[in-house]
Structure 1
Amino acid sequence: MMHDVIIVGGSFAGLSAALQLARTRRKVLVVDLGLRRNRFAAHSNGFLGQDGKAPGAIIAGARAQIAAYPNVTFIEGEAVSASGVSDDFRIELADGSLHHGRRLILATGVADILPDIPGLSDRWGDSVFMCPYCDGYELNRAAVGVLATGEHSMHQALLLTEWGQTTFFLNGAVAPDAEQAAALAARGVTIEETRVRAIGGERADVHLADGRIIPVAGLFTTGRMVMASPLAEQLGCAFEDGPLGSWVKTDDMRTTSIPGVYAAGDNVRLTGNVAFAVSDGAMAAAASHRSLVFEPAKAA
Structure 2
Amino acid sequence: MDDVIIIGGSFAGLAGALQLGRARRKVTVLDTGLPRNRFAAHSHGLLGHDHKAPADILSAARQQLERYPTVRLVNARADNAGGTIDDFSVLTDDGETLTARRLLLTYGVSDQMPTIPGFADCWGKSIVPCPYCDGFEVAGQHWGLVYSGSQALHAVSLFHDWTDRLTLFADGHDIPADARADLARRNVPVIDGKLERISHRDGHLSTINLDTGRNLAVDVLFAHPRNRPSANLHTTLGLETLDAPVGLYLKTDDRRETSVKGIYAAGDLANPMASVTLATSSGAMAAIFAQQSMLV
Query: Smaller-chain TM-score range?
Result: over 0.9
| 1:198 shift after superposition | 0.6
Task: Tell me, in whole angstroms, the C-alpha distance in 1 between the residues paired with 2:50 and 2:193.
Answer: 37
1:20-51 CA distance string (max 9 Å, x none): 11110011111111110000000001111111
Task: Tell me, in whole angstroms, the C-alpha distance in 1 between the residues paired with 2:212 and 2:172.
Answer: 14
Task: Tell me, in whole angstroms, the C-alpha distance in 2 between the residues paired with 1:16 and 1:80.
Answer: 23
Amino acid at match of 2:93: A
Q: Give the secondary structure class of the aligned counterpart of 1:116.
A: coil
| 1:125 shift after superposition | 0.4
Aligned to 2:170: 170
| 1:188 shift after superposition | 2.0
Aligned to 2:47: 48
Matches within 5 A, 1:101-116: 101-116=100-115
Amino acid at match of 1:170: A
2:83 is the alignment partner of 1:84: yes
Amino acid at match of 1:185: A
| 1:129 shift after superposition | 0.4
Task: Tell me, in whole angstroms, the C-alpha distance in 1 between the residues paired with 2:144 and 2:2.
Answer: 48
| 1:166 shift after superposition | 0.7
> RMSD in angstroms over aligned alpha carbons?
1.2
Task: Tell me, in whole angstroms, the C-alpha distance in 1 between the residues paired with 2:188 and 2:157.
Answer: 7
Task: Tell me, in whole angstroms, the C-alpha distance in 2 between the residues paired with 1:224 and 1:22.
Answer: 35
Aligned to 2:118: 119
Amino acid at match of 1:258: V
Q: Give the secondary structure class of the aligned counterpart of 1:14.
A: helix
Aligned to 1:194: 193
| 1:105 shift after superposition | 0.3
Structure 1 residues not aligned, in runs of 5+: none
Matches within 5 A, 1:232-247: 232-247=234-249
| 1:286 shift after superposition | 0.8
Aligned to 2:226: 224
| 1:128 shift after superposition | 0.4
| 1:178 shift after superposition | 2.7
Between the aligned residues of both structures, percent identity stands at 43
Aligned to 2:144: 145
Contact 2:118 2:200 in 1 (8 A): no
Structure 2 residues not aligned, in runs of 5+: none
Please give the TM-score of this superposition, normalised by the length of structure 1: 0.94
Task: Tell me, in whole angstroms, the C-alpha distance in 2 between the residues paired with 1:185 and 1:210.
Answer: 21
Matches within 5 A, 1:253-292: 253-292=255-294
1:225-283 CA distance string (max 9 Å, x none): 21101111111111111222111000122111111100000011122100000111011
Alignment: residue pair count: 292
Please give the TM-score of this superposition, normalised by the length of structure 2: 0.95
| 1:221 shift after superposition | 0.6
Contact 2:122 2:200 in 1 (8 A): no
Task: Tell me, in whole angstroms, the C-alpha distance in 2 between the residues paired with 1:283 and 1:39.
Answer: 24
Amino acid at match of 2:167: T
Task: Tell me, in whole angstroms, the C-alpha distance in 1 between the residues paired with 2:185 and 2:64.
Answer: 50
Contact 1:141 1:163 in 2 (8 A): yes
